Structure 1
Amino acid sequence: MVLHGCTQTAAVYDACSGWSRLADDCGFALLLPEQVRSNNSNLCFNWFNPADVIRDSGEALSIRQMVEHMIERCNVDRSRVFITGLSAGGAMANVMLAAYPDVFAAGAILAGLPYMAASTIPEAFDRMRGYGLPGTDALQAKIRGVFDHQGPWPRISVWHGTKDDTVVPANAMAIVEQWRGVHGSGRHPSSTKRRGSRTLQIWKNASGRRVIELHTLSGMAHGAPLDPAGGYGRSGAFFLDVGVSSTVETARAWGLGGSKLPTYSVDGIRAAAASALRWTGLIPRPRS
């Protein structure tokens, strides 16, 4: 399931993110709900409205019903249902993960916000700017209080740019803090890896299972990180070419497509570019 951001349509989000093309290539079912202006004039999912974010109520219930329809229509494995979204869609993805942890195996939150961090529109704007974010204990209590879940909790992946002035990066860490409680993870990440402009922090649970990831993109503004050169997605408003595809990386982490997913290294891209230049005659071929 893929949730678009404010002012976007499902079709625009799909075309720019590359999810449909990836689903066609790798053979998984895809669902893209779309907000309507009668619910929100800016086409934002109402991630902050108390009536829309609790289990079996409002927009959360509507989205859950869409998931159930897809499971039955497409004969989907119930243990392999995933959700992602950008901005307000990312915040709503977090809502669904918190309200329906028994439905989703994992989720990816792009430039989103913590669950139940706001309850009014003014509060929503404050939280987006980093003002008044609840503390760790309060955030974790929100997750525990929504549903008496006894099974495994969804794995969480958070993506955020360091130059995001729309939803400031403090929200990314707040999401991590919120989910550490139910996963029983320590305050500090189990490992930190740096790959180009991306820093990946990983939290594991007591059994050593990888349960929370934080992808921080240095210098990236508000949007979804993409790598159009890899064949999936295209640049546009809030779709940012930063050389790493959150779409492909998320699908790989969820085991969607297996070996069909592309793998691109810096050296591989340089080699392909050099080959293309030689083919056009712009640089000489090496003599044999």
Structure 2
Amino acid sequence: MQFLTRFAVLAGLATIGSSQSLTKVNDFNAGPTKLGMYVVVPKTLTTPAPMIVAVHHCQGSAQGYSTESKYMSLASSHNFIVIFPNSKSGGGCFDVASTATLTHNGGGDSQTIVNMVKYAAEKYGGDLNRTFVTGTSSGAMMTNVLVGAYPDVFKAGSAYSGVPDGCFYVAGSTATQDPPGWSNSCANGQTTKTAQQWGDLTRSYYPNYTGPRPRMQIWHGTADNTLHYPNYQEAMKQWSNVLGLTTSKQTANTPQSGYTQTIYGDGTTTTAQLVGYSAQGVGHSVPIHETMDLAFFGIA
């Protein structure tokens, strides 16, 4: 897990006069859980504008993630809104262990984040037809959960060093407990299922949904000792089943030396339904590839 320096936190509180300032939304109170909402809305924004939800890791914050990532600095040049949720827990983790959060409109952190999206669409002119999510570690777990439980909201996701949707479930965990539930079995890469079982799990969280499923991009390092590497293959199995994909092709040293790209089904790096990147020797967590995210989302 990454720890924030005081400098990073202060740097995240951009000057109000900046075209890409980070702003806390004090009047967001839709809940159902008590997450903070921060946004970046470029002054030159042309609406309706794409929206990216960027979810921080444990021991992190919205302010910190806004400077660790480059989405804030890219927002003006590529005309998009960024929503940075801020965890309510003392450890900075999001709840991905409770049934409430895993389930569509179940009342957990995932629903609060979706309510932030709706708020940003109404107040800032965000485009509900071009809404995406990305995150690191705990934020990557939440990315998988959001794409799984709210396929009607998100068009694509990019998860950095996370776990499959539903993998972190802990019996008896609630959406309001602090810290959120923790699954050692999942974190250690010991929770395995068939592709069909993973797909059925995701479908169970929104059983009446019959529409299109979001595209997914998955990143993981082979030397990850926090959310261990087997979670990469489990996540790829899950989304290949959810998306109905059975064939794949691999390309070595893409997008850089030591990374192996896997594309499921038809398409390219930017158009395929499912793309994975296995990073040889990289620990927790894989560095954010923002421009590749934007290309995958169809923004850049």
TM-score range, shorter chain: 0.7 to 0.9
Q: 1:184 touches 1:205 (CA, 8 Å); kept in 2? A: no
Letter in 1 for 2:69: S
Q: 2:97 touches 2:169 (CA, 8 Å); kept in 1? A: yes
Pick the structure with greater CA Rg: 1
Q: 1:190 touches 1:201 (CA, 8 Å); kept in 2? A: yes
Distance in structure 2 (CA, Å) of the matches to 1:63 and 1:79: 16
Matched, 1:46 2:95: yes
Residue number in structure 2 paired with 1:262: none
Instruction: Tell me how far 1:104 sits from its aligned partner.
Output: 0.6
Distance in structure 2 (CA, Å) of the matches to 1:198 and 1:248: 16
Instruction: Tell me how far 1:134 sits from its aligned partner.
Output: 3.1
For residue 81 of structure 1, give the secondary structure of its aligned residue in structure 2: strand
Instruction: Tell me how far 1:51 sits from its aligned partner.
Output: 2.1
Picking from 252, 258, 282, the partner of 1:197 is: 258
Residue number in structure 2 paired with 1:266: none
Letter in 2 for 1:14: S
For residue 43 of structure 1, give the secondary structure of its aligned residue in structure 2: coil
Please list every run of at least 4 consecutive aligned residues from structure 1 whose deviation after the TM superposition is greater than 4 angstroms.
none
Q: 1:86 touches 1:223 (CA, 8 Å); kept in 2? A: yes
Q: 1:117 touches 1:134 (CA, 8 Å); kept in 2? A: no
Distance in structure 1 (CA, Å) of the matches to 2:210 and 2:186: 30
Distance in structure 1 (CA, Å) of the matches to 2:231 and 2:266: 22
Size of the alignment, in residue pairs?
232
Matched, 1:144 2:203: yes
Instruction: Tell me how far 1:193 sits from its aligned partner.
Output: 4.3
Instruction: Tell me how far 1:60 sits from its aligned partner.
Output: 1.4
Bigger fraction of residues in strand: 2
Instruction: Tell me how far 1:18 sits from its aligned partner.
Output: 1.2
Picking from 178, 194, 219, the partner of 1:135 is: 194
- Which deviates more, 133-142 or 25-34? 133-142
Tell me the C-alpha RMSD between the 2 structures: 1.8
Residue number in structure 1 paired with 2:166: 116
For residue 7 of structure 1, give the secondary structure of its aligned residue in structure 2: coil
Residue number in structure 1 paired with 2:284: 222
Instruction: Tell me how far 1:253 sits from its aligned partner.
Output: 1.6
Instruction: Tell me how far 1:87 sits from its aligned partner.
Output: 0.7
Distance in structure 2 (CA, Å) of the matches to 1:19 and 1:131: 33
Instruction: Tell me how far 1:25 sits from its aligned partner.
Output: 2.5
For each residue in 1:169-219, what CA deviation from the matched residue of structure 2 results, as whole angstroms up to 9, or x when unmatched? 111111111111221101x4144343312111100269xx61101011111
TM-score by length of 2: 0.73
Structure 2, unpaired ranges of 5+: 1-52, 171-179
Bigger fraction of residues in helix: 1
Residue number in structure 1 paired with 2:238: 178
**How has the CA–CA distance of structure 1 residues 190 and 224 changed in structure 2, closer, same or farther, with 3 Å as cutoff?**
closer
Structure 1, unpaired ranges of 5+: 227-245, 259-288
Picking from 58, 61, 75, the partner of 1:23 is: 75
Distance in structure 1 (CA, Å) of the matches to 2:189 and 2:155: 29
Percent of aligned pairs sharing the same letter: 26
Q: 1:183 touches 1:205 (CA, 8 Å); kept in 2? A: no
Q: 1:161 touches 1:217 (CA, 8 Å); kept in 2? A: yes
For each residue in 1:70-89, what CA deviation from the matched residue of structure 2 results, as whole angstroms up to 9, or x when unmatched? 11122222221000011111
Matched, 1:89 2:139: yes
For each residue in 1:97-117, what CA deviation from the matched residue of structure 2 results, as whole angstroms up to 9, or x when unmatched? 000001111000110111111
Letter in 2 for 1:70: A
Instruction: Tell me how far 1:124 sits from its aligned partner.
Output: 1.4
For residue 8 of structure 1, give the secondary structure of its aligned residue in structure 2: coil
Distance in structure 2 (CA, Å) of the matches to 1:116 and 1:15: 29
